Structure 1
């Protein structure tokens, strides 16, 4: 039996590299080493994972879990997808990193493909980054090039943790330790079109930055018509409409982008969209997409940059991820499995489940009690990875390859939960 088949992976190292292979160990042993080597910004890991396949992962003790979080909406194709791993390996074996003094055919083809699925008009462009935070940093700088400094964002928003992206993020616990943040950002009530209209009065606005579905805040979709009204207001006042699709983009909602869904976007064409997470299928890559010639020329030569953004390996990963989604019809799978999963959870009539919301495979399960942490802990013990993003909300963002049968095992777990829970597990 191989190390992979037991769930205990021994990393290979070249004999002449002077490196020792990583030793086997239990979850407890690895966790102890983690606490002495890794900065304590995330707390102790829930598990130490050693391998994955499709929608499943295994920990260092050999236990299998159905990954219903997908690395927080990242692993669109699941784990160890053979087409993706082959493409990354082939590209790295040919050309890994070259800097942005040069271009690669892979980078150019990726940028063209991204503009295509974004349905971007002639004159649109792409700035390639390594993450969603960096994409939102680029968008923030884009707004400053309008000559205005006032930016509107929504209450409940999450746009990243670097200083610029953090300025756009509403949660006080994230912001306050690092203030003063870049100035000019104001927050308006989520989903309130009248409050948004009122916010445009007074000093001119550079940009409105919105998520079509707020993931961190509990999977909250914008109300129908809100994004269309936002587009109208930004055009009337000469402001940019920047749509943060870092979590919702690249097929997560069953469309390439959530704003393309008629009941969310209403056919709007934004000025800019940020994307990351699922874009590379697990490889770090992000992008700022600008729509049309005027917006695409706001950032000029030397006004922004990146060392790793757009490198050939990240570009190959993203281009391949898009290709597999198209080849295997995964947008339809996301829509179908997601809709049926939400319906099955609602049909349980479980007293602990107060409601289900979301689009595609971005799902929020609203609980009747603030026991999301306890539910997530019980799920983990039973072999399911989910996220308690709020005290009353469980977030699911599984790989696009999830099947109805696999999703059904989680529904069975929910059905078996007692009618009432307390945070101490009683």
Structure 2
């Protein structure tokens, strides 16, 4: 680590000065653990020696997972090229085959670097295939920060500065079957884009009646059903490799990212059927490259993805399911008597804890000098602030500040979860004491 001592000493301040002062200021005000200097045993350690359990969701295998790191290191020690000028990359071919075999349904993969890349690929596929103008999302959605993704974002600071947005993009109320039927009845919808469990929207799972209607009506009206599994996929829901495996019909397109690169390399994937891809882009000889990105097919990321797939066993997915049930029950038992507690929601190791707003006139962002946030609850940020001090990095949902999201590493021990529940109960008691 000596080679990076100067970066770990000065780089945090340089980030504030030269990258994004607004993020740096927010993190400092929230007292988030910023000065993280090393990863150890899948955990983080800051400059004061605080050991941090990351519940943010991107590091499903723990920080710097040794199996993924070994695979990346072995590739760098080889003489294999990472980028192929023809774009025909054998490492991409191998990872695509493995992903298709793992899902047992899809047989075509587009690779990108981020979830937003995968979303953009799916929207363009839908338009190219159907030649229809309308793209439908759900209220409360979060699909990334590119223009197509932002067009389905909930209204607010993450969306409003960028209008006008993608022409033809529209949203319907979450879980509203009648609204879905109405928008599809027009016959001009290219695709419906959904998250099986909304993350930033408040860890909201699609209601089963809506899923049934979604699967039936999109097929009936010739619209692609796109499932954004960037957060729920690759085992996190505990319901299979993908959360949508048990849906009445498999989505036409499924999107993955985050943990797909093993936590070390940026990697995303859009999976579909080869027939759909060829019909969309096969009308003209050169159209196969009409949607592309330069570094999405780099071999180094593919190697990390292959190593990550090796870690996702059936036994691990079952552990995720059982551990999610355990964590939910422990939280409900420990917090159930608190006036702040509303419910635990979600599935597997994608859970959210909803709080009731504190009943006190000065416990508000407006009182703290942030009138633009007067409509948001201070409840979840206050609890997360307390949890940071106990070494647990949790995250308030971006569209609903009453809820904090829990997406820990897949192999997190139950003893650690017990400590987390105790810390959460203490944080609730502290906030209650403020009222």
Give yes or no for TM over 0.5.
yes
Could you tell me how far apart the structure 2 residues matched to 1:367 and 1:53 are?
A: 32
- Structure 1 partner of 2:111: 128
Contact 2:383-2:428 at 8 Å conserved across structures: no
Could you tell me how far apart the structure 1 residues matched to 2:108 and 2:225 are?
A: 16
Counterpart check, 1:60 vs 2:52: no
Counterpart check, 1:412 vs 2:422: yes
Greater shift, 285-294 or 180-189, is seen at: 285-294
Give the aligned length: 396
Deviation at 1:30, TM superposition (A): 5.2
Residue pairs, 1:283-362, within 5 angstroms: 283-299=265-281, 300-326=287-313, 329-348=315-334, 349-351=336-338, 352-362=340-350
Q: Secondary structure at the match of 1:323?
A: helix
1:252–1:96: structure 2 CA closer, same or farther, 3 Å change rule?
A: farther
Deviation at 1:92, TM superposition (A): 2.3
Counterpart check, 1:110 vs 2:95: yes
Unmatched 5+ stretches in structure 2: 282-286, 358-376
- Structure 1 partner of 2:361: none
Q: Secondary structure at the match of 1:250?
A: coil
Per-residue CA deviation, residues 372-425 of structure 1 (Å, 9 max, x unaligned), is 000000000111110111321010111111111111110111222354727x96
Contact 1:100-1:307 at 8 Å conserved across structures: no
Deviation at 1:210, TM superposition (A): 0.6
Q: 1:37 aligns with which of 11, 14, 18?
A: 18
Counterpart check, 1:398 vs 2:398: no
1:105–1:294: structure 2 CA closer, same or farther, 3 Å change rule?
A: closer
1:166–1:417: structure 2 CA closer, same or farther, 3 Å change rule?
A: closer
Structure number with higher helix proportion: 2
Contact 1:48-1:60 at 8 Å conserved across structures: yes
- Structure 2 partner of 1:387: 395
1:75–1:96: structure 2 CA closer, same or farther, 3 Å change rule?
A: farther
Per-residue CA deviation, residues 323-365 of structure 1 (Å, 9 max, x unaligned), is 01228x3212211111100110011224122110111100100
Could you tell me how far apart the structure 2 residues matched to 1:244 and 1:253 are?
A: 13
Q: Secondary structure at the match of 1:287?
A: strand
Could you tell me how far apart the structure 1 residues matched to 2:383 and 2:67 are?
A: 35
Unmatched 5+ stretches in structure 1: 1-8, 13-20
TM-score (norm 1): 0.88
Q: Secondary structure at the match of 2:159?
A: helix
Deviation at 1:98, TM superposition (A): 1.4
Contact 1:143-1:149 at 8 Å conserved across structures: no
TM-score (norm 2): 0.86
Could you tell me how far apart the structure 2 residues matched to 1:285 and 1:274 are?
A: 11
- Structure 1 partner of 2:244: 259
Contact 1:30-1:48 at 8 Å conserved across structures: no
Deviation at 1:173, TM superposition (A): 2.1
Per-residue CA deviation, residues 274-320 of structure 1 (Å, 9 max, x unaligned), is 11011112121001101351345413412111111121110010111
Q: Aligned-residue CA RMSD in angstroms?
A: 2.1
Could you tell me how far apart the structure 2 residues matched to 1:418 and 1:246 are?
A: 30
Contact 1:167-1:182 at 8 Å conserved across structures: yes
Contact 1:99-1:308 at 8 Å conserved across structures: no
Deviation at 1:150, TM superposition (A): 0.5
Contact 2:345-2:351 at 8 Å conserved across structures: yes
Residue pairs, 1:10-409, within 5 angstroms: 10-11=2-3, 22=6, 25=9, 31-44=12-25, 45=27, 46=32, 47-69=34-56, 73-94=57-78, 95=80, 97-99=82-84, 101-121=86-106, 124-145=107-128, 146-254=130-238, 255-260=240-245, 262=246, 265=247, 267-282=248-263, 283-299=265-281, 300-326=287-313, 329-348=315-334, 349-351=336-338, 352-369=340-357, 370=377, 371-389=379-397, 390-409=400-419
Could you tell me how far apart the structure 2 residues matched to 1:273 and 1:199 are?
A: 22
Could you tell me how far apart the structure 2 residues matched to 1:115 and 1:233 are?
A: 26
Could you tell me how far apart the structure 1 residues matched to 2:160 and 2:87 are?
A: 40
